Amino acid sequence: MPEPLDVERLLDWDRRHVWHPYGPMPGRSRPLVVESASGVRIRLAEPVGGHRELIDATSSWWSTIHGYNHPVLNAAVQDQLGRMSHVMFGGLTHEPAVRLARRLVEITPEGLEHVFLADSGSVSVEVAVKMCLQYWRSRGRPDKRRLMTWRGGYHGDTWHPMSVCDPEGGMHNLWSGALPRQVFADAPPAGFDREPEPEYVDQLRRLMSRHADELAAVIVEPVVQNAGGMRFHSPGYLRVLRQLCDELGVLLVFDEIATGFGRTGTLFAADHAQVTPDVLCLGKALTGGYLSMAAALCVPRVAEGISEGEVPVLAHGPTFMGNPLSSAVACASIDLLLEQDWAGEVRRIERVLREGLAPCASLDRVAEVRVLGAIGVVRMDHPVDGERAARAAAEQGVWLRAFRDLLYVMPPYVIGDDDLHRTCQALAAAAEVA
């Protein structure tokens, strides 16, 4: 029998020894201690605001699309655990990884055929960048090694991903000067339903033309810029980027780590525009939020280019590449998603969020309310006090995280209407105090 949990001792150790995301050492805030999680609920070791269980409005950073402790996903992990949890991928292969790669080739936009199974989202972006730089090197164009993106993006916390995060608003401006200098266009004009603005398209064209000789790739989050500001833009810009990249000889990378697997209403955000990128990054919901895994898929042109070069291999091979446990649960999560009317569920969530968040628009200091697919955002007219906002939501029985001037919900797709309404009310309560 494990010892009973001494919450104060645990928190004391946590504070003094354990880094948390974007946190100081020692820690200054008091995290909630989680005992277990099931469905859309996180169960706490101690009640907060009178609640022992909180509805998770964030899907654990947008990953747990089927909720926690799902019997089908649990069974997939247990079944795989009985065979092997891990085996190296160099010189060896296995059915779960091959099955997952096949599934991904089948469901992602037409033309993406080769799959690199990495161990986290940031690493898959590193791999995507390496694919593009190596492609041009192999083609005798080593000078094509810069990246272009638009402002307001977020691609992860390792080095190359940081270099294409928003250079000012992001968390990485500390490193400007140390990071590779990339080419930045303005953020895409906001609005999912709006037609592309000709002046902005001209700006993209001018910038890309000027830098075409040194650009390896353009990398963007399609349709929704997530951690960079939760902004939505027209899918038309993806078609513009595809056309410009083709004209000017630049590769196109879509980072769908946050948008993949239905979140924006189509299976992949690229599907809104019917565009195939040269490289696609996936992560987060890939394993239903069970285990860390990500993928970088590419089109044959990129794979062939690399393989015909002076170093005819993709020089990357992490220890946990293709991890069998992650692969097995990813396959189960994809099957679970596709077996149900996931698009109907996302439409239902969208409808309830539109209805439920609409009253927030008339609250004091709310600048804007926007909803797309299973994403609801309330933008304030000032930077929010994240801890106060979280506490106010917890008092309504809901877990949410705010950042910058933003409060948002991205719930698991299995959330019921009642819980969703409660989530909207909690967000409104957070907006009142944030």
Q: Which are the catalytic amino acids?
A: 22, 154, 255, 284
E-only strand ranges, 65-201: 114-118, 146-150, 183-185
SS3 content of the chain, % helix, strand, coil (to 5): 40, 20, 40
Binding window for ligand PMP (CB under 6 A); candidates: 119-127, 385-393, 406-414, 417-425: 119-127
Residues in CB range of 91: below 8 A, 6 or more apart: none
CB atoms within 10 A of CB 130: 18
Binding window for ligand PMP (CB under 6 A); candidates: 114-122, 138-146, 241-249, 383-391: 114-122
Q: How many residues bind ligand PMP (CB under 6 A)?
A: 14
Q: Which is nearer to ligand PMP, 157 or 197 (CB)?
A: 157
- Which residue of 226, 326, 396, 425 would you call a contact of ligand PMP, by CB under 6 A? 226
- Which residue of 77, 257, 270, 280 would you call a contact of ligand PMP, by CB under 6 A? 257
- Which residue of 166, 255, 350, 419 would you call a contact of ligand PMP, by CB under 6 A? 255
Binding window for ligand PMP (CB under 6 A); candidates: 75-83, 95-103, 179-187, 219-227: 219-227
Q: Which is nearer to ligand PMP, 244 or 295 (CB)?
A: 295
Residues in CB range of 95: below 8 A, 6 or more apart: none
Cα 401 vs. chain centroid, distance in angstroms? 15
CB of 56 to ligand PMP, least distance (A): 16
- Asked if 156 is part of the footprint of ligand PMP (rule: CB under 6 A), the reply reads yes
- Asked if 283 is part of the footprint of ligand PMP (rule: CB under 6 A), the reply reads yes
Residues in CB range of 133: below 8 A, 6 or more apart: 144, 145, 216
* CA angle (78, 80, 85) in 5-degree steps: 105
- Asked if 155 is part of the footprint of ligand PMP (rule: CB under 6 A), the reply reads yes
**Position with the least CB separation from ligand PMP:** 121
Q: Which residue has the tokens 């079944």?
A: 79
CB of 362 to ligand PMP, least distance (A): 30
* Cβ–Cβ < 8 Å for 73, 66: yes
Distance between CA atoms of 309 and 296, rounded to whole angstroms?
20
Q: Which residues bind ligand PMP (CB under 6 A)?
A: 120-122, 125, 154-156, 221, 226-227, 255, 257-258, 283
